Amino acid sequence: MAQKGPAMTAFSLEPAQLAWCAELRALAAERLRPLAEKGEPGRVNRALVAELGGLGLLGRLFTSGALDLCLMRESLAHACTEAETALALQGLGAHPVHAHGTQAQRARWLPRVADGTAIAAFALSEPGAGSDAAALDLTATPDGPAGWRLSGEKCWISNAPEADFCTVFARTTPGAGARGVTAFLVPGDRPGLTGAGLDMLSPHPIGTLDFDAVPVTADDVLGEVDRGFRVAMGTLNLFRPSVGAFAVGMAQAALDATLAHTAGRDAFGGKLRDLQAVSHQVAEMALRTEAARLMVYAAATAYDQGAPDVPRRAAMAKLLATETAQYVVDTAVQLHGARALQRGHLLEHLYREVRAPRIYEGASEVQRGIIAKELYAAHQEAR
């Protein structure tokens, strides 16, 4: 059987990495997908998260580099997008605690995230502050010598409102833009914190969070007061390439399904693959998928090496990979015909899954803005 996914690339992955990717794809198909199928759309699948913890994959979120994170997300996405997303959301919500938390915060929450018994959320977006993340309205009003009260709303928050704790970004200094935002670790049972689920196109758990004078103290701060935007951007710089890896995994799954379908389907006196119009589309799907994969790996490697151009590389990787996956999945649906639109078909599932990554963690337009900003800054420095 021909190898699929990362094993096809000429990127210099080690044999152990290739073997690990193959193992992850098998685990996703054999152990994670059955649990995913039992989950309720729009709700946190705690059994699936617990299995990810039991397999040791959640713990690797805090011990592995960006490239390993990409390999995990791509491999899981190839066989079980729900498992990939559950893993990624744990990492996104808990990474600020891992990177900026106090010893007490880390000791309380990270072991539970790693074993899958605590659900994490990353609460940045608001109804009026999506792409413009610095325009936050959630207000942290001083309350006593070392405390605040959080008031406002967060929206489109993954794992909300079921998360056991949230990394919450709130405005502590009015009128200061990105320089007046603080990151807080807020347990889900804090008084005044409520929320509701949202019915979205993809089946992920996503909802709103309402803060009615929720109390927080200095012990809940992640990093430094008024420096929370750096916490947010540092997390996104790590996870943006891996969003691209998620997209590459979906693109590869769609490509593999298309190869099997066009090789076996009889049409016009031969196989679909014998039609040049079809074979050229398949070649284009493969070309774009491989190009996106290589850019994702390169961005992740740059992050692991501490390269200065990580924001540009991360933005490029997410942009190219998510746009590529949209193209590949859409083309796969077209080549499969009506069968791909039937509820329960792999491509029907991927078609619903592939749209959101072009928006979350910075929409494609935001990524283009980041790329241009970084390019002009580098040009200015070189003059």
- The CB-side HSE value for 75 (13 A sphere, CA atoms) comes to 24
Contact at 8 Å (CB) between 264 and 165?
no
From residue 138, how far is each of 75, 182, 234 by CA, in Å? 37, 11, 20
β-strand partners of 360: none
Helix extents (H) in the chain: 15-27, 33-37, 46-54, 66-79, 81-100, 103-115, 228-264, 276-304, 310-336, 346-353, 364-382
Burial class (CB in 10 A: 0-12, 13-18, 19+), 99: middle
For the CA atoms of 187, 189, 195, 199, what is the dihedral angle to 10 degrees?
80
| CB within 8 Å of 32: residues ≥ 6 apart | 48, 51, 52, 76, 79, 80, 82, 83
Of the residues 51, 82, 84, 361, only one is catalytic, namely 361
Give one word for 270, left, alpha or beta, with left for phi > 0 and alpha for psi -120 to 50.
Answer: beta
To the query of whether residue 361 is one of the catalytic residues in this protein, the response is: yes
C-beta of residue 154 within 8 angstroms of C-beta of residue 197: no
Going by the DSSP 8-state scheme, the letter that residue 40 receives in this structure is P
Does residue 6 contact residue 25 with C-beta atoms inside 8 Å?
A: no
Q: H-type helices in 149-204, by residue range?
A: none
| Residue positions annotated with a catalytic role | 361
